[in-house]
Amino acid sequence: MGEFLLKPRVHFGQGALATLNQLSATRVLLVTDKAMVKFGLAQRATELLQRQGADCQVWDDIASDPDIETVAHGMQLMNARYPDLVVALGGGSVIDAAKAVIYTQRRARPELARPRFVAVPTTSGTGSEVTAFSVVKAGAEKLVLVDEHMLPDIAILDPALAASVPPAITADTGMDVLCHALEAYVSRQASDFTDALAEKVVELVFSWLPACWRQGDNLEAREKMHNASCMAGMAFTNASLGITHSLAHALGGMFRIPHGRANALLMAGVVAWNADYTGQCDTFAARRYARLAHKLGLPASSTYQGVTSLLVAIQTLKEAMQMPAGIRDAGVDVNNG
Ligand SMILES: NC(=O)c1ccc[n+]([C@@H]2O[C@H](COP(=O)([O-])OP(=O)(O)OC[C@H]3O[C@@H](n4cnc5c(N)ncnc54)[C@H](O)[C@@H]3O)[C@@H](O)[C@H]2O)c1
Ligand SMILES: [Zn+2]
């Protein structure tokens, strides 16, 4: 017996941001960060939200990898105004901060009505706009909150919002998308539903991520990666993730490596480990990786050859985007955490 949860409503495509002006609300809390202010995106969102007469408060100091103190500050803002609509505009860090605030308010004040929640991702990476997870830092540790009540009611995927993402962050976040799909695909909780999403995501990433990296304002490529990121989120929120993510949270929390880059550094090693690549190479995961390689049109006449093809494809993708090969190349001094 299985289960596949489908939420939220997803508006996608160029111009989708304009959906914000159809939302009626009295008091809005716009959760965002300084980059969104700098690129004028926070201003655009505020203008759209105000067209229906809403009173919009902007909370724009979310840093990457939000921590418990950030969430506590968000709670103060919530308790001062009781917004009926929360809009998160930013990368996974911004969306996760908003989710953690909603989670905490529900825990602390269960008698209050949950505000409507809209997530507008500006990176193509975490898929947080459709997942029941939020990652919050406590010191050097990354905690993962899991609760369906954090799922947004609406996700808005406008690829133009990702056009300003610089190449290194495009690479990091894009590899996060690939990692979500790979981990969902070899999960014991994978199903026909999550497989369909993961297979499409992997195809989209290998086809379009290098184009996004080379030319950030290629909106066709951005749209493909934005959709892929969201679909990967749908896959992993249902199938769950694997040890790349467990290790990446530890590595990222301790050495401040961006989430997607940590995954990219660990991914090939975990694929090889899961597949028992240097042993029999005949595990459940090995067969799944080989199937994926076959679906991608890569050489896969045996399980071993399929896994090899996938490993080569991952390596080639990283090299095409000039990503660091190993943990040391990423500037980590393992003796000095
Ligand atoms: N909730 C989930 O399901 C889930 C899944 C994976 C990762 N995460 C968490 O999400 C966080 C990472 O999110 P992320 O990878 O999206 O990075 P991020 O949100 O930390 O953003 C990275 C950087 O990119 C900037 N940025 C964002 N959008 C931009 C744009 N359009 N133009 C220019 N700059 C822009 C940000 O200001 C920031 O400096 C981590 O804390 C990670 O643990 C959550
Ligand atoms: Zn991730």
Q: What pLDDT does 130 receive? A: 98
What number is the average pLDDT over the span 66-72? 97
What number is the average pLDDT over the span 189-203? 98
Q: Counting ligands in written order, which one lies closest to the CA of residue 182?
A: 2
Q: 289 C-alpha to center of ligand 2: Å?
A: 19
> For residue 313, is pLDDT > 60?
yes
Q: What pLDDT does 109 receive? A: 93
Q: What pLDDT does 97 receive? A: 98
Verify whether ligand 1 is closer than 6 Å to residue 164 (CB atom). yes
Query: Which residues contact residue 287 at a Cβ distance below 8 angstroms, ignoring those fewer than 6 apart?
Result: 303
**Which residue type is seen at 299?**
P
pLDDT-derived band at 284 (thresholds 50, 70, 90) equals very high
Distance (Å, whole) CA 86 – CA 84: 7
The token duo for 281 is: 């190479």
Verify whether ligand 1 is closer than 6 Å to residue 64 (CB atom). yes
The fold of 167-329 is Dehydroquinate synthase-like, alpha domain (1.20.1090)
pLDDT-derived band at 333 (thresholds 50, 70, 90) equals confident
What number is the average pLDDT over the span 152-177? 98
9: helix, coil or strand? strand
What number is the average pLDDT over the span 48-71? 96
Residue nearest to atom 39 of ligand 1 (CA): 64
Q: What is the pLDDT of residues 228-253, one digit of tens each?
A: 999 999 999 999 999 999 999 999 99
Verify whether ligand 1 is closer than 6 Å to residue 32 (CB atom). no
Q: What pLDDT does 260 receive? A: 98
Residue nearest to atom 6 of ligand 1 (CA): 126
Q: 94 C-alpha to center of ligand 1: Å?
A: 7
Q: What pLDDT does 92 receive? A: 98
Q: What pLDDT does 336 receive? A: 60
Q: 40 C-alpha to center of ligand 1: Å?
A: 18
> For residue 337, is pLDDT > 60?
no
The β-bridge partners of 319 are none
Half-sphere exposure at residue 18, Cβ-oriented, CA atoms within 13 angstroms: 3
Q: What is the pLDDT of residues 106-141, one digit of tens each?
A: 999 999 999 999 999 999 999 999 999 999 999 999
What number is the average pLDDT over the span 38-58? 96
Distance (Å, whole) CA 69 – CA 81: 19
**Which residue type is seen at 85?**
L
Q: Counting ligands in written order, which one lies closest to the CA of residue 142?
A: 1
Residue nearest to atom 20 of ligand 1 (CA): 64
Q: What is the pLDDT of residues 167-193, one digit of tens each?
A: 999 999 999 999 999 999 999 999 999
Verify whether ligand 1 is closer than 6 Å to residue 70 (CB atom). no
Residue nearest to atom 5 of ligand 1 (CA): 126
Residue nearest to atom 37 of ligand 1 (CA): 35
Percent of the chain with pLDDT over 90: 94
The token duo for 18 is: 């304009």
Residue nearest to atom 35 of ligand 1 (CA): 165
Q: 280 C-alpha to center of ligand 2: Å?
A: 29
pLDDT-derived band at 329 (thresholds 50, 70, 90) equals confident
CATH class of 9-162: alpha beta
Domain spans in the chain, listed from the N-terminal domain onward: 9-162, 167-329
What number is the average pLDDT over the span 318-328? 93
Q: Which atom of ligand 1 is nearest to the CA of 173?
A: 15
Q: What pLDDT does 325 receive? A: 86
Verify whether ligand 1 is closer than 6 Å to residue 19 (CB atom). no
Verify whether ligand 1 is closer than 6 Å to residue 244 (CB atom). no
Verify whether ligand 1 is closer than 6 Å to residue 135 (CB atom). yes
pLDDT-derived band at 328 (thresholds 50, 70, 90) equals confident
The token duo for 173 is: 């976040």
